[in-house]
Chain A
Amino acid sequence: GAGVSQSPSNKVTEKGKDVELRCDPISGHTALYWYRQSLGQGLEFLIYFQGNSAPDKSGLPSDRFSAERTGGSVSTLTIQRTQQEDSAVYLCASSRNRGAYEQYFGPGTRLTVT
């Protein structure tokens, strides 16, 4: 079946502009995660959603970052007033449930802030 998809695959934006990144999880997966991966670095947790529960936003690096998940499916990560240090690959993952379940990753969105 279809895996996790993300769009766009690449995004180049000017410093100070807002960007929206989209994630389509695997159908039926109740948990959805956003991670940030800077060049050659590990996976930095940003936020996760579980069903209709309030999201865990503990990993968001600043109030310029926000995310929502509509109808328990598609999620959008928004970065306002982008800075050069926001340049990274943003990965989305989904899993059947939160916690001790395999996370399936999307291909990522490579964000470049000029």
Chain B
Amino acid sequence: GENVEQHPSTLSVQEGDSAVIKCTYSDSASNYFPWYKQELGKRPQLIIDIRSNVGEKKDQRIAVTLNKTAKHFSLHITETQPEDSAVYFCAASFGGSQGNLIFGKGTKLSVKP
């Protein structure tokens, strides 16, 4: 079946360093790739998303890159801050534009002051 793999499962960085989380997907028809941030005890919230017609998207300290040929996409957080500490989930659409999202298993990011 369709699958999204996310790595690493845990990531610890020093404040100010960069963090990179990578995901691969199996459905070549996937065309939408959102990233969600879930702080402890709170609901997941969208932080950035990318569609298959672009290779990179930036929003301040956050960027996402997409390689459709290799079927992988990555989240990059620069100048990390303690408030970036959370669980991050990637997702990919499957079943075309009328399908559903499959989520990765999450990455727990810890930013140490």
**B2: min CB distance to chain A, Å:** 11
B31 to A, closest residue via Cβ: A100
Q: Which applies to chain A's interface (DSSP): helix, strand, loop or mixed? A: loop
- Known contacts A41-B105, A42-B106, A43-B89; decide if A99 and B43 are in contact (CB<8 Å): no
**B31 neighbours in A (Cβ, 8 Å):** 100
Min CB gap B56→A, angstroms: 18
**B interface residues, tally (CB under 8 Å):** 25
Given A91-B44, A102-B34, A108-B43: A43 and B103 interface contact (C-beta under 8 Å): yes
CA distance A98 to B43 in the complex (A): 20
B105 in contact with A100 (CB, 8 Å) = no
- List 12 A-B residue pairs with CB atoms under 8 Å apart, sorted by A's residue number: A42-B89, A42-B105, A42-B106, A43-B89, A43-B103, A45-B103, A98-B98, A99-B97, A99-B100, A102-B34, A103-B34, A105-B45
- Chain B residues with CB under 8 Å of chain A are 31-32, 34, 36, 42-46, 49, 51, 89, 93, 95-106
Chain A residues near B (Cβ < 8 Å): 33, 41-43, 45, 48, 56, 91, 98-108
Given A99-B32, A99-B96, A102-B49, 18 additional A-B pairs, CB 8 A? A41-B105, A41-B106, A42-B105, A43-B103, A43-B106, A48-B100, A98-B99, A99-B93, A99-B97, A99-B99, A99-B100, A100-B97, A101-B32, A102-B34, A103-B101, A105-B36, A105-B43, A107-B43
